[in-house]
Copies of this chain bind each other. A is one copy, B any other.
């Protein structure tokens, strides 16, 4: 708990902000980074455009020219395809089991694979995922609801058997 790289430190703020960004993307038509700054302020999160630029880079969001002549930031379908492949491969390799309790889905994997799984699931930008926690031999995925957690569990199991 003494340095910044641990969960629960200032790090959490970024993760939470990026979660909001993901939500905002779906609801609004955002055509510039300042819009994120403004919308986040309404949620009580104060950041500058510089931070948003970094978030966008990290989340690999893309600015898409729409048919109607406007621009809008979007989730990266492109990237998604690659990520899904990696997730599939990693899961097939390391998967042991899933467990669901309330809104949480615990994915048990072979030792050492937890962080990789968590990272990939983060990258998938599943709308129903609220947060993640990576252990050594497990990945705890916190969803919005029990229904969502079951959904994720189903998805994971389908990936493994596919």
Interface hits, A49-65 → B, CB 8 Å: 56-65
A78 at the interface (CB under 8 A from B): yes
Closest to A78 in B: B77
A59 to B71, CA, bound (A): 12
The residues of B that contact A66 with a CB separation of less than 8 Å are: 60
In the complex, the answer to whether A60 meets B56 with C-beta atoms within 8 Å is no
Our pick among B59, B61, B64, B77 for the contact of A81 (Cβ within 8 Å) is B77
In the complex, the answer to whether B74 meets A64 with C-beta atoms within 8 Å is no
The count of chain A contact residues (Cβ–Cβ below 8 Å) is 20
Residue in A63, A71, A78, A81 whose Cβ sees the most chain B Cβ within 10 Å: A78
A137 at the interface (CB under 8 A from B): no
In the assembled complex, the CB of A25 is this many whole angstroms from the nearest CB of chain B, namely 13
The residues of B that contact A71 with a CB separation of less than 8 Å are: 57
What are 25 sample pairs from A and B whose C-beta atoms fall under 8 A apart?
A56-B65, A57-B65, A57-B69, A57-B71, A58-B65, A59-B65, A60-B64, A60-B65, A60-B66, A60-B67, A61-B65, A62-B62, A62-B63, A62-B64, A62-B65, A62-B78, A63-B63, A64-B76, A64-B78, A64-B79, A74-B78, A77-B77, A77-B78, A77-B81, A78-B78
